[in-house]
Amino acid sequence: MTLADKINHQRVKYIVSSYQLDGDAPSEFLKRLDTLADDYPLSWLELALAEVLVLNWLIVPMPRGLEFLQEVKSRLQQWRRSGVRNLLTPSEFQRITNLDPTPVFRTLALHSTIKR
């Protein structure tokens, strides 16, 4: 694994830990998260995590754990079929994740069809 890959994995884990998304089964959550990281570009995974957060923001209690991850997976599968149709702008992504949006949106622009 390259240094860039390690950094990107750490960014994903930062989002998960910041919002305590792993729920009641953290080890199973992390296994499935790793599977998604193997199957999809990490930039897509970061964006999907942030967008599912936004979509669930007003649900109390907010879904976490495997339920949350299933929504992320569904979003990723849809993007694979139809191209990435992101809901968030780079500045919104940054406010939600507290991460620099440049790596995510640069990668999306280079490797997928972005539709707004």
Q: What is the pTM of this model?
A: 0.90
Helix (H) or strand (E) holding 39, with range, is: helix 26-39
Helix, strand, coil % over all residues of the chain, rounded to 5: 70, 0, 30
Reported as a pLDDT band with limits 50, 70 and 90, residue 116 is very low
Q: Residue 83 pLDDT more than 90? A: no
Give the pLDDT confidence score for residue 113 in this predicted structure: 47
Average pLDDT, the chain: 91
pLDDT at 115: 44
Q: Is 52 exposed, middle or buried (0-12, 13-18, 19+ CB in 10 A)?
A: buried
What are 12-65's pLDDT values in tens digits?
999 999 999 999 999 999 999 999 999 999 999 999 999 999 999 999 999 999
Domain coordinates in residue numbering, the chain: 3-111
One-letter amino acid at 68 equals F
